């Protein structure tokens, strides 16, 4: 099985302004961000099943966020 692991660096929003909503449902933003010395490790692994699974070692992530991540990932497959 093929897999890749990458680090997803963390950031802090020093300012965040929502400027408006686009036709596609996303928002236009203006922000100032600063990276910090923390990161998540993301592993994507190819499997033969026609499904998407998500596993994590942190239990703080809400179910709604998990669903959003999976739906977004599915759009790119």
pLDDT value at 26 more than 80: yes
pLDDT attached to residue 23: 93
By residue range, what is the domain housing residue 34?
Answer: 3-75
**For residues 25-48, average pLDDT:** 86
Mean pLDDT estimate for the chain:
79
pLDDT attached to residue 9: 86
CA 1 to CA 19: how far, in whole Å? 44
pLDDT attached to residue 40: 80
**For residues 32-58, average pLDDT:** 78
CA 57 to CA 29: how far, in whole Å? 31
SS3 65: helix
Q: What global pTM score does this model have?
A: 0.46
Q: How many domains does the chain have?
A: 1
């Amino acid at each position: 099985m093929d897999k890749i692991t990458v680090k997803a660096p963390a950031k802090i929003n020093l300012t965040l302004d929502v400027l408006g909503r686009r036709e596609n449902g996303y928002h236009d933003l203006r922000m100032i961000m600063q990276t910090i010395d923390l990161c998540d490790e993301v592993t994507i692994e190819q499997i033969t099943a026609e499904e998407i699974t998500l596993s994590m070692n942190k239990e703080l992530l809400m179910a709604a966020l998990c669903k959003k991540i999976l739906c977004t990932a599915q759009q790119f497959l």
